[in-house]
Amino acid sequence: MKLQRKSGLSTLAVGSALVSGALVLTACGSKGGPQPSGRPSMAASPAATAAIGVKCGTAAAVSASGSTAQEFAMQFWIRNYTRVCPGTRISYDGNGSGAGQNDFLNGRTAFAGSDSALSAAQISQSRSVCSNGGHAVDLPVVGAPIAIGYNLPGIRKLVLDAPTLAKIFASQITKWNDPAIAKLNPGTKLPSTPIQALHRSDSSGTTDNFTSYLSAAAASAWPYGHNKEWAAKGGRSAKGSSGLAEQVKKTVGAIGYVELTHAITRNVPTVSIATGASTPVAPSVLTASKAIADAKITDTGADLVLGLDYTTRAPGAYPIDMVTYEIVCDKGNKPATLSATKAFLTYIADSQGQQDLSFQGYATLPATIVEKVRNEINTLS
């Protein structure tokens, strides 16, 4: 099925705190400190530039916004890029995929991060922002498992499957000791605690992908389809992945869907998914990468939207995944920011930007896909 327009790599622990709201990171000089004039050096040393494997673009202030799933990655990328290209200032506002798409389509940003692909109508709308006959394209840059976090004191291992998850989030299963949950967790003493199912209140690519999984893997139990806006009745809501993860952490009986990075940083336990394979699969870099490895490009031309198999039964493949995208004009980008935008996107999609992404919770994209992304970035104008 068609994945919404929406990557990571080692299993090192998350090394930086989540920056809520706008991410603005700049370097003060090529040696890490302010110049005598108080202004940053405008040129990077050849050695520093080579260290991240990309040439700096023309100095500019580049604004971007969107996906909260990308915040950890963006923090890392911006810090590294602006350290060696200090003439460029890049800001990233993690306001959610829907808001990021709207910002871009209204000409407020140079590019958008999104975990959900633009619709045909949005691509048509983008022609008013992209000049010279251009339109927006979706370029996948990093993948991530969507973890199901929960709060049940004393229970550190929990297994659920797609139909049971669908019924929980549709408010059809309301107690933690429900027979459907007990059947999946033999030997575990489940409490009668009421289930507090949490969903995103904002327009969210994570919601789009999670509901894509439910509608594909549990169609009979999930009649709501998929969308960036939550459609099911009942439950409680929270804004942003960080807000939802915080609510799960402090609410006994809670369950919610967040990118694995957000669960890890808050020490929120996560559900293993019974997929029909011999053993349930926990969310991790490796298990998500195994599932994403089978992703196929579903669009043609410069628009590189990926399709995932949410119903996979491959051993060790975690099925609830997402691919997060950068949205940019193929032609007609703003001249003032084109060079810097193109250079930055080249860095994050190149081997160094991908391999150096050390936050636990991101997953690799197939090498053939990343190569296509680099080729498309090279043609942006």
| CB 196, CB 317: distance < 8 Å | no
Mean pLDDT of 201-229: 95
pLDDT tens profile 230-249:
999 999 999 999 999 999 99
Of 68, 73, 3, 97, the residue nearest 322 (C-alpha)? 3
272-288 exposure pattern, b = at least 16 Cβ within 10 A, e = fewer:
bbbbeeeebbbbbbebb
Domain coordinates of the chain in residue numbers?
Answer: 22-143+294-307+322-379, 146-290
Whole-prediction pTM: 0.80
- Sign of the C-alpha dihedral, residues 83, 89, 94, 97? negative
DSSP state of 128: G
CB atoms within 10 A of CB 371: 12
Residue 35 has pLDDT above 50, yes or no: no
Q: How far apart (Å, rounded) are the C-alpha atoms in residues 325 and 77?
A: 15
What architecture is domain 146-290?
A: 3-Layer(aba) Sandwich (3.40)
pLDDT score of 29: 30
Q: In the structure, what pLDDT confidence band is assigned to residue 365 with cuts at 50, 70 and 90? A: confident
DSSP helix/strand/coil, 310 = coil
pLDDT score of 353: 78
pLDDT score of 23: 37
How many CA within 13 A on the CB side of residue 155?
24
For the CA atoms of 250, 253, 256, 262, the dihedral, rounded to the nearest 10 degrees, stands at: 30
CATH number of 22-143+294-307+322-379: 3.40.190.10
**Residue in the structure block whose two tokens are 């019974």:** 274
Query: Of the given ranges (67-81, 94-108, 115-129, 176-190), which has the lowest mean pLDDT?
Result: 67-81
pLDDT tens profile 243-283:
999 999 999 999 999 999 899 999 999 999 999 999 999 99
**How many degrees, rounded to 5, is the angle at CA 179 between CA 173 and CA 181?**
70
Residue 9 has pLDDT above 50, yes or no: no
Of 179, 176, 175, 180, the residue nearest 190 (C-alpha)? 176
More reliable by pLDDT, 3 or 291: 291
pLDDT score of 227: 93
Domains 22-143+294-307+322-379 and 146-290 share a fold: yes
DSSP helix/strand/coil, 247 = helix
Residues 6+ apart with CB under 8 A from 362: 7, 8, 9, 72, 73, 142, 143, 144, 261, 285
Nearest 5°: phi and psi at 143?
-115, 160
Mean pLDDT of 353-372: 76
Q: How far apart (Å, rounded) are the C-alpha atoms in residues 283 and 288?
A: 7
Mean pLDDT of 178-183: 98
